[in-house]
Amino acid sequence: MKVRTINELQTKLDFDISWRKKELIDYRFVVEKNKSSTQIIPLVRGGIALGYAHWEGFIKTSSAIYISYITTKKIPNERLKSNFIALSYLRKLNRGKSIQECINLIDEILFNATKPCKILDKDVIDTKSNLKYVVLKEILDSLGLDESFFSSKENFLDKKLVEPRNDIAHGTYRDLTFEDYKIVYDNIIPLMEHYKTLIENSVALRQYIR
């Protein structure tokens, strides 16, 4: 996937969030229609799992779109903020190293300061299939995006979304109600929209530049 222009980035972000929102809204109609029936519990469990799936999916996809845009711009390393340099060297940085290996890596980074930054690893943004707040913060730091809005949602992300989703995914019993589902539904779309806005603002304001 190559994202060459702001318009391409905008189009891809709009498409990805649109189909997710439609599916979430359509599912909400089904839940509402059956909230007084005996079918409500499996619908609630499915709705929470679906909400998490779209949350994790959007974070991964939109982040990849943003990274593709940055890489396609071929901006010299020395002009980019450090988080993007860290992403481009992430695999090398994560390996256990001797002091000589560290020296070699630092030399490589310094000597390539004027070369375009290339973040080639398509899986560089890792949600760990368990997108708790601490994992989200790591992603936000990686992309140089502001975490303040999401820090206020830490309890929701960990206790109302990820924990129930994990129990559902692992076949563990959990007492869930329509209100549990409604909390997830009411928060997921605004969270995705805010993440999308952060990326759009960063691109529009060139916040990725050092």
1 assigned to some structural domain: no
Each residue's pLDDT tens digit, 6-22: 999 999 999 999 999 99
209 assigned to some structural domain: no
* 186 pLDDT tier (thresholds 50, 70, 90): very high
Amino acid at position 155, single letter: N
153 assigned to some structural domain: yes
Q: What is the mean pLDDT of residues 41-64?
A: 97
Q: How many domains does the chain have?
A: 1
The per-residue pLDDT for 111 is 80
- Rounded CA-CA distance 88/99 in Å is 21
Residue 181 pLDDT > 90, yes or no? yes
Contact 142, 183 (CB under 8 A): no
pTM of structure: 0.89
The per-residue pLDDT for 49 is 97
73 vs 92, higher pLDDT = 73
The half-sphere exposure of 63 on its side-chain side, counting CA atoms within 13 A, is: 25
The per-residue pLDDT for 60 is 96
Question: CA–CA distance from 78 to each of 39, 68, 111, 128 (Å)?
Answer: 58, 18, 10, 30
The per-residue pLDDT for 192 is 98
Q: Which residue has the tokens 């109600």?
A: 177
Each residue's pLDDT tens digit, 111-139: 888 888 777 666 688 899 999 999 999 99
Sign of CA dihedral 91, 94, 100, 102: positive
Amino acid at position 5, single letter: T
Q: What is the mean pLDDT of residues 70-97?
A: 81
200 assigned to some structural domain: yes
Least trusted range by pLDDT, from 25-34, 38-47, 122-131, 137-146: 122-131
32 assigned to some structural domain: yes
The per-residue pLDDT for 148 is 94
- Rounded CA-CA distance 89/94 in Å is 9
Q: Alpha helix locations (H) across the chain?
A: 6-33, 40-72, 82-88, 90-94, 99-111, 133-143, 148-151, 154-155, 163-169, 178-204
199 assigned to some structural domain: yes
Token output for 54:
């779209």
Q: Average pLDDT, whole number, for the chain?
A: 91
Amino acid at position 191, single letter: L
- Rounded CA-CA distance 192/56 in Å is 9
Least trusted range by pLDDT, from 35-39, 91-95, 183-187: 91-95
User: What range defines the domain where residue 83 resides?
Assistant: 6-204
Percentage, residues of the chain above pLDDT 90: 70
169 assigned to some structural domain: yes
210 assigned to some structural domain: no
